[in-house]
Amino acid sequence: MIEQLADHEAAALAAIEAAATMEELQAAKTAVLGKAAPLSEAQRRLGSLPPEDRKDAGRALNAARKVVEARLDARTTELAEAERAAQLVAERLDLTEVPTDVTVGHAHVVTQAWEELEDVFTGMGYRIAEGPQVETDWHNFDALNIPPGHPARDGFDTIYVDHGKPGSTVLRTHTSPVQIRTMLTEEPPIYVVAPGRVFRADTADATHIPVFHQLEGLVIDEGISLADLAGTIEAFTTAYFGPGFSSRLRPNYFPFTEPSAEFDVQRPDGTWLELGGCGIVHPNVLRAGGVDPERWTGFAFGFGIDRLASLKFGIDDLREMYTNDIRFLHQF
Ligand code: PHE
């Protein structure tokens, strides 16, 4: 019987080795260790052996089963690993391949204009200044030579914020309060531009939107004149729009500049579009900003970034820029 056991063991190991998949291995396991397996049959025959042989045969049988079981375990691990590796290869995704029909997003047309303008002005030696969108009425009006009751306040369609004393907090109606904040924190000479969001209680139409963007410019230095202002406006419009565009100043009134002007840009087709306001900083505004008007003079200008972008790209309705129709935005 012990000799037979050696044959059974060898046959069992060969069957295990031959299994190439987990399924085949499962079948082999039943064949070599199941009820009908030669080793199990030998087990059942143990009882009929003479008592003196039974002990050695039993030991040999156990040893054979152990060898077979160990080989089964090892083969199970081997096949599981192989199957897992095959699965990984089969399910592999090539993430390095960029599909060509996916479009990549880009900055909004107004953001593009904002950033280009920053580039133009920093290229001319200006720094970027900032101020809060929720502003005190003092910075937004009083300090800009618009005292309470001044008719110019009505022209701004101000949105008030319910904070502090009634009427004391506003959503800034223009970027001009940044002039005051800059003068109060910096010593002249000052060369800054302040792009930012502004708010007016306007009904939206083709040329107005209640939330829009302006870019303020402020220069304070010795001996600044209207000629410097006109030259600066001409320089930035040609830098931003390119050749074929030009600018002009038309006399106007703003409480915070004296003299004041409106500036227009001429399109290559000869037509003009009003872009913003400008002028020589009023002495009262310099004083409110803590700047000595006897020594320093300056100019300021402010215009709508949204309107500038619409002019450059020939967009004839400002509202189009904010309905966020991707087919529209995609063009710019
Ligand atoms: N703040 C003015 C406006 O919003 C524009 C302006 C700025 C005019 C600076 C003169 C000087 O209409």
- What backbone torsions phi and psi does residue 236 show, to the nearest 5 degrees? -75, -35
pLDDT for the residue 99: 63
Return the structure tokens found at 103.
């479009």
Over residues 66-77, the pLDDT tens digits come to: 988 999 999 999
Question: Residue 273 Cα, ligand 1 centroid: separation in angstroms?
Answer: 16
For residue 176, which atom of ligand 1 is closest to its CA?
A: 1
Protein residue with least CA distance to atom 4, ligand 1: 174
Mutate to test the pocket of ligand 1, among 213, 233, 249, 256 (most ligand atoms within 8 A of CB): 256
Residue pointed to by tokens 């039974």: 54
Mean pLDDT, all residues of the chain: 91
Protein residue with least CA distance to atom 12, ligand 1: 277
- Mean local confidence (pLDDT), 117-136: 97
Global pTM value: 0.70
pLDDT for the residue 129: 98
Residues contacting ligand 1 via CB (< 6 Å):
174, 176, 254, 257, 276-279, 300-302
CA distance 305 to 195: 8
- Mean local confidence (pLDDT), 102-128: 93
Question: Residue 180 Cα, ligand 1 centroid: separation in angstroms?
Answer: 13
Question: Residue 316 Cα, ligand 1 centroid: separation in angstroms?
Answer: 23
The C-alpha angle with vertex 97 and arms to 91 and 99, in degrees rounded to 5, equals 110
Short-list 43, 75, 73, CA closest to 60: 43
Q: Which residues pair with 298 in a beta bridge?
A: 220
Asked whether the predicted pLDDT for residue 282 surpasses 80, the reply is: yes
Over residues 163-196, the pLDDT tens digits come to: 999 989 999 999 999 999 999 999 999 999 999 9
Query: Per the omega criterion (within 30 degrees of 0), is the bond before 255 cis?
Result: no
Mutate to test the pocket of ligand 1, among 176, 216, 301 (most ligand atoms within 8 A of CB): 176
CA distance 241 to 44: 100
- Mean local confidence (pLDDT), 259-267: 93
127-128 and 190-199 strand pairing: parallel
Tell me 240's DSSP state. Answer: H
pLDDT for the residue 101: 66
CA distance 250 to 274: 10
Over residues 287-300, the pLDDT tens digits come to: 999 999 999 999 99
Residue pointed to by tokens 């009904």: 203
- Mean local confidence (pLDDT), 78-106: 81
